[in-house]
Amino acid sequence: MAMATTAGKSAGPRAAPRSFSARLMDGDQVAHVITFIFAASIMLITVLLVIVLWNHSVLPRNKFGLSFFTGRVWDPVAEQFGALPFVYGTLVTSALSLIIGVPLGLGAAIFLAELAPPKISDGLTFIIELLAAVPSVIYGLLGIFVVVPFVRTGLAPWLIRHFGFLPIFKGPCYGVSFLAAGLVLAIMIVPFIVSVSREVLLAVPRDQREAALALGSTRWESTWKVVVPFATTGILGSVFLAMARALGETMAVTMVVGNVTEIKTSLLAPGYSIAAVIANEFTEATGEIYLQALVELGLVLFLVTFVLNGLARLLILFTAQRGGTT
Amino acid sequence: MKKYAMAAGLCLAMALAVGAQSGATLLNGAGATFPYPIYSKWFDVYRQEHSNVQINYQSIGSGGGIRQVIAGTVDFGATDGPMKDEQISQVKTGVLHFPTVLGSVVPIYNIPGVTAELDFTQAALAGIYLGKITKWNDPEIANANKGVNLPADDIVVVHRSDGSGTTYIWVDFLSKVSPEWAGKVGKDTSVNWPVGLGGKGNEGVSGLVKQTPDAIGYVELIYALQNKMTYGKVQNKDGQFVKADLATTTAAAAGAAKSMPEDFRVSITNAPGKTAYPISSFTWLLIPTTIPDASKRDTLKDFLKWMLSKGQTYTADLGYAPLPKEVVQQESKAIAKIK
C-alpha cells in the first residue's frame, strides 16, 4: 500500500490527482509494484517454509547429523531415526509412476492434439481435466479396492512367473507394494501430463507441420519428428510437474504402499514414503525428538524435491540449447 | 466505504451477540480420537442439562492433546496413553489423570477355510508379531486350537501404520508377556515393527486382513463389534482364554483396581482375574491441578462428578466398557485435588 502510493506520486506531478482504483486500472508502475509483491510472496513463503522446518528440527539434526540420511532404522521407542527407507520409497514409487505415466500421458496428448477430431479431443480433454481435480483419497480407495487385488492376484503372479529371475520381481507379493503405489500414482499424474502436453503440442506453429508435409513426410512423421521435438521443453515441463505431484503425494500412497520401513529391491515388496510417514505418525507423536524427526523428514522431502527440480531445470536448459543449435 | 463500515459493524455486533450468549462458561479440550464418540455424547447431554456451559472438544490425537496441555492452550486434554513423568513436569499448573472409559484391542484374522474363533496364547501373539512364529499350523497356535484345521501357510502380519492408542495398548500387552518384545521393540504409539504390513486406521488394518489370505491384525473392540467381525480369544494372566466384550474389559479394570496408583496412571494389560480380558486400557482426561478461573474449576469438577455417575450409563450404547465401581470411588475422592 505504502509503496503503491509513493510509486503513484513519482508519476503524478503533471497529472491531476486520480483515485487509487483509476491508477490501478491503467498504471504501469502500480501494476508493476503490485505484481512484484505477489511474486515476492511466493519467494517469501518458500523461505519461511525452510526456516520453520529448519528451526523445528534442531534436536534430531544435532543428534544424528548427516547419518539421518543414511540411517535405516526408524524406532520411536529407542528414539533412533533414519530417513533412508522413506527417501528410497519416495524415489522408487515416483520413478515407477513416471515410467508408466509418461508414455501413457504423452501418447494420449499426441492423439488429442494431432490426430483426434476436434469434438472427441475437446470431450476427452474435459474428462482428463476432471480427473486432475479428483481428491487423492479417492485414488487411494481405487487403489485398495482395484489396484491392490489386481496386483496380488493377477499382475504379481504373472511377473514372478515370467520375470521372477529379476531381483526387482522377486516374490512373495501381498498386493500392497511399491508396484501398487507406482500404478496408483501413474493414474494420478497422467492427467497432468496429458493436459499440459496437449496445450504445448497445440501451440506448435502450423508452418512447422506444413513444412514437414511439404517435404513429403507422412502425417505421423511430421508429428513424431517435427512437432514433438519442437515441443520437448514444454513436455518435459509437464513431466516435472507430474513428478512433483508424485513425490509429495501422501494419502493415496500410504493406502497402498504397505507402510513398512524396509529397503527392498523387489518392486513387489511393501515400502514407505516420506510424506506417508509424516501423515501417519505426526498426530500421535509424543516425544519431542520424535516429533522433530518427523519435521526433519519434511525438510528432507523439501530437499529431495529441490534437487530433482534443479536437475530438471538443467535438463530443460540442455535440451533447449541442443534444440537451438541443431 | 459506507458498505464496508456497515459490514464491519454487523460483524462486531454478531461477535458481541455470540460472546454474550456464551458469556457463561466455555471449556475447550483436545486430544484422543478413540473416546471421541462418547465424549461428544457426554458434552452434548451435559450442555443440555446445564444451559450456561459449553464444552468444545477437538479429537486431534493423544499426542496433540498432551502437547496442548503442556502449552496451556486448552482447559483440559485427553489421551489414550498416560503422560510420561518428564511431560508432566513440563505442565506449569500440574496435571491430573482421570480415567473415563475403557477400551480393548482384539486380534482379527483371515485364514481360508477357518471360521472358528481361535484361541491365542500369549506366547503365540508375541511370537507371531516378533516374526518367530511364521506358519498357522505352528504348535504354539495348533495346540490351543485342537479340532481346527490350520493350514501350513505363512502368516501375514498386519499392524497400524499411523501412530495410535490402539497400537500402544497392543504393544504394551506384548511387552508385558514377552521379555524379548520388551527388550527388542518396546512400547509407544508407533514402534519399529520386526515384521508385517502397515494399514492406516482400524479400517486400513481390517481392509488388509480381509483382502490378504492368511493375515492377522488387531483392531479396537468397538470397531470389531460395529462391523460384526470374528475375532480371537486371548489367554489372560490366569491362563484362561477370554473373549473380549464390555464385561470382560471392565473386569480387567476391576482386577487392576486393587493396585491402583494414586494418580491413576496405570496399565491394565494382562490384569489378574479369571474373566479379565488382557488387552484392555483406560482412556484418560487430563485436568490441570490448579485452575485459577473459579467458574471453569467448578464446572470441570461438576462435569467429572457427572461423568462418573450419570455419564457412565451412556457407555454401553456406544460400545465402551464402563469403569468398575472401585475405580469410580477412587476417582470421586481425587476430584477434590483440583484447586
pLDDT in tens, A229-261: 999 888 998 999 899 999 999 999 999 999 999
Quote the pLDDT of residue A118: 87
All three cell numbers of B45, joined, read: 447431554
Quote the pLDDT of residue B45: 94
Chain B residue with minimal CA distance to A279? B162
ipTM value, please give it. 0.80
Residue A288: pLDDT band (50, 70, 90) is confident
Quote the pLDDT of residue B3: 53
Is B84 in the A-facing interface, judged by CB distances under 8 Å?
A: yes
Q: Is-contact A105 A193, C-beta < 8 A?
A: yes
Going from N- to C-terminal start, the domains of chain B cover: 2-103+279-337, 104-258
Quote the pLDDT of residue A20: 65
Burial class (CB in 10 A: 0-12, 13-18, 19+), B142: middle
Residue A196: pLDDT band (50, 70, 90) is very high
Q: How many CB pairs under 8 A join A and B?
A: 96
Per-residue pLDDT at A273 exceeds 60 = yes
Q: Please indicate whether, in this complex, the C-beta atoms of B162 and A283 are within 8 angstroms of each other.
A: yes
CATH classification for the domain delimited by B2-103+279-337, as one of 3.30.70.100, 1.10.3720.10, 3.40.190.10, 3.40.640.10 = 3.40.190.10
Q: Please indicate whether, in this complex, the C-beta atoms of A259 and B161 are within 8 angstroms of each other.
A: yes
Per-residue pLDDT at B2 exceeds 80 = no
d(CA A60, CA A288): 10
Chain A residue with minimal CA distance to B181? A77
Chain B residue with minimal CA distance to A285? B63
Residue A326: pLDDT band (50, 70, 90) is very low
Chain A residue with minimal CA distance to B30? A283
Q: For chain B, what is the mean pLDDT?
A: 89
All three cell numbers of A287, joined, read: 516425544
Instruction: Compare CB distances from B60 to A144, A283, A286 and report the shortest one's residue.
Output: A283
Measured in angstroms, the CA of B60 and the nearest CA of chain A are apart by 7
Q: For chain A, what is the mean pLDDT?
A: 88
Residue with the bigger pLDDT between B24 and B127: it is B127
What does the pLDDT look like over B221-237, one tens digit per residue? 989 988 888 999 999 99
Measured in angstroms, the CA of B72 and the nearest CA of chain A are apart by 16
Q: Go through B203-234 and write b for each residue having 16 or more CB atoms within 10 A of its CB, e for each that does not.
A: ebbbbbbebbbbbbbbbbbbbbbeeebebbbb
User: For residue A78, which residues of chain B lie inside 8 Å, CB to CB?
Assistant: 186, 192
- Read off the pLDDT of each residue in B143-151 and give the average, rounded to a whole number: 92
Per-residue pLDDT at A187 exceeds 90 = yes
Chain A residue with minimal CA distance to B207? A144
All three cell numbers of A186, joined, read: 501413474
Measured in angstroms, the CA of A76 and the nearest CA of chain B are apart by 6
Quote the pLDDT of residue A8: 43
User: For residue A141, which residues of chain B lie inside 8 Å, CB to CB?
Assistant: none
Is B213 in the A-facing interface, judged by CB distances under 8 Å?
A: no
Helix, strand, coil distribution of chain B in percent, nearest 5:
40, 20, 40
Per-residue pLDDT at A6 exceeds 50 = no
Could you please state the CATH topology (level 3) that the domain comprising B104-258 is classified under: D-Maltodextrin-Binding Protein; domain 2 (3.40.190)
Per-residue pLDDT at A161 exceeds 80 = yes
**Best of A286, A292, A295 to disrupt the B interface by mutation (most B CBs within 10 Å)?**
A286
Distant-in-sequence, close-in-space partners of B314: CB < 8 Å, separation ≥ 6:
B38, B41, B42, B45
- Read off the pLDDT of each residue in A117-133 and give the average, rounded to a whole number: 90
Chain A residue with minimal CA distance to B34? A284
Quote the pLDDT of residue A10: 46
Instruction: Compare CB distances from A284 to B156, B164, B196 and report the shortest one's residue.
Output: B164
User: For residue A254, which residues of chain B lie inside 8 Å, CB to CB?
Assistant: 161, 200
- Read off the pLDDT of each residue in A213-231 and give the average, rounded to a whole number: 90
What does the pLDDT look like over B240-276, one tens digit per residue? 999 999 999 999 998 888 888 989 999 999 999 999 9
What does the pLDDT look like over B9-20, one tens digit per residue? 555 455 444 444
Quote the pLDDT of residue A52: 95
What does the pLDDT look like over B97-136, one tens digit per residue? 999 999 999 999 999 999 999 999 999 999 999 999 999 9
Q: Is-contact B42 B311, C-beta < 8 A?
A: yes
Residue A23: pLDDT band (50, 70, 90) is low
Per-residue pLDDT at A9 exceeds 60 = no
Quote the pLDDT of residue B238: 93
**Best of A176, A262, A284, A289 to disrupt the B interface by mutation (most B CBs within 10 Å)?**
A284
Contacts with A, B 151-170, CB within 8 Å: 154, 156, 161-165
Measured in angstroms, the CA of B91 and the nearest CA of chain A are apart by 14
Q: Is-contact B85 B78, C-beta < 8 A?
A: no
Per-residue pLDDT at B84 exceeds 80 = yes
What does the pLDDT look like over B166-206, one tens digit per residue? 999 999 999 999 999 999 999 988 899 999 999 988 888 99
Q: Please indicate whether, in this complex, the C-beta atoms of A77 and B191 are within 8 angstroms of each other.
A: yes
What does the pLDDT look like over B284-329, one tens digit per residue? 999 999 999 999 999 999 999 999 999 999 998 888 999 999 899 9
Per-residue pLDDT at B162 exceeds 80 = yes
Report field, pTM of the whole predicted structure over 0.90:
no
Chain A residue with minimal CA distance to B172? A77
| Ramachandran sector of residue A214 (left: φ over 0; alpha: ψ -120 to 50; beta: rest) | alpha
